Amino acid sequence: MLRIRDASVTFPASDGEEVHALDHISLDIAPASIVVAVGASGCGKSTLLSAIAGFLPLTEGTITLDGRKIEAPGGDRGVVFQKDTLLPWANVLDNVALGLKFQGVPRSERRERSRRLLELVGLADFAEKPPYELSGGMRQRVGIARALATDPKILLMDEPFGALDSLTRETMQQLLASVWAKTGKQILFITHSIEEALTLGTTIVVMSPRPGRIVARFEADFVRDFAESGDIGPIQSHPRFIELRQEIRSLIHKPEGARTGNLQ
């Protein structure tokens, strides 16, 4: 269980003013849930992820994972970045095995485990390729496999499909739903796409900028159907989906002054 309590992050801006990137955020991420944070750019959703990953210190508040306070990056939190961060000098298999290598897992075992993960993300035939010969979508699959390899407690995904074309994106969403259904990982997923949030989230938190706050949260379970059927069409045309999408959209586009009334 990941617990975020009153987390605030304040940056000094260039004009001397302070920017409240995160303003007293509280959020729990339960095992086997996908929490999707959605909001316009600048709403602090990426800051939230960086703080959980340990890349960025909190100004106030605490984040704990299974009771342990988070203070630095660590192998218990797998991160998938928007831009892939694969090592160009290592082939796909060795990239997936990187975390296991850091843990000191023997070579034959880490290759074996990495191969299974490449099968899971459908890239078994590409194990020996250098990452720069892969397409953007395939590289993100390698990134997901790499983050899963060390069996982290939580997967943090920072707009991982944001740079992909819409068709590849759908395939990747389907892949993630099926990986989630198989592994039962808890996931924090950041996106600016409302459709993506509703398709993938078991909990959707809507964030607003300046200061970065959670303005609403919704429960959904479209992802279970999606993981089973693999068909995005019926899900996105479901009346409840359309209703929620409209509600979230109006929350995000509401003028800043009118947003003070908290839904939750």
Partner 1 sequence: MTLAANSRTSFPPATAPREPSSRPRRPASTSTLGISLVTLASLIALWFFAAHFGWASPLFLPSPAEVLTQFSAVAADGYANGTLLDHMLASLGRIAAALGVGIVLGIPLGLLMGLNRWVKGIFSVPIDLYWGLPPLAYLPLLIIWLGIGETSKIVLLSLSTFAPICFAAQAGVRSVPAERINAALSLGANRLQLFKSIILPSALPEIMTGLRIAIGAGLSTLVAAELIAAQSGLGYMIMSAANFLATDIVFVGLIVIAVFAFAFTSGMRWLERRLVPWKGKL
Residues forming contacts to partner 1 in the complex (CB under 8 A) are 53-55, 72-75, 77-79, 81, 83-89, 98-99, 101-103, 113, 116-117, 119-126, 130-136, 138, 146-148, 150-151, 156, 175, 178-179, 182-184
Minimum gap (Å) between residue 135 Cβ and partner 1: 5
| C-alpha dihedral (218, 42, 75, 128), degrees to nearest 10 | 100
**DSSP notation for 109-137:** HHHHHHHHHHHHTT-GGGTTS-GGGS-HH
Task: Name which of 87 and 242 has its Cβ closer to partner 1.
Answer: 87
Minimum gap (Å) between residue 218 Cβ and partner 1: 26
- Say whether 260 sits in a helix, a strand or coil: coil
Main-chain dihedrals φ then ψ at residue 20, nearest 5 degrees: -90, 90
Minimum gap (Å) between residue 158 Cβ and partner 1: 10
Minimum gap (Å) between residue 192 Cβ and partner 1: 19
Task: Name which of 181 and 217 has its Cβ closer to partner 1.
Answer: 181
Task: Name which of 103 and 246 has its Cβ closer to partner 1.
Answer: 103
Main-chain dihedrals φ then ψ at residue 40, nearest 5 degrees: -70, 165
Task: Name which of 1 and 124 has its Cβ closer to partner 1.
Answer: 124
Residue among 153, 83, 94, 147 at smallest CA distance from 120: 147
- One-letter identity of residue 59: T
Minimum gap (Å) between residue 120 Cβ and partner 1: 5
* β 77-80/18-29 pair status: unpaired
Task: Name which of 105 and 205 has its Cβ closer to partner 1.
Answer: 105
Kind plus residue range of the DSSP H or E element containing 46? helix 45-53
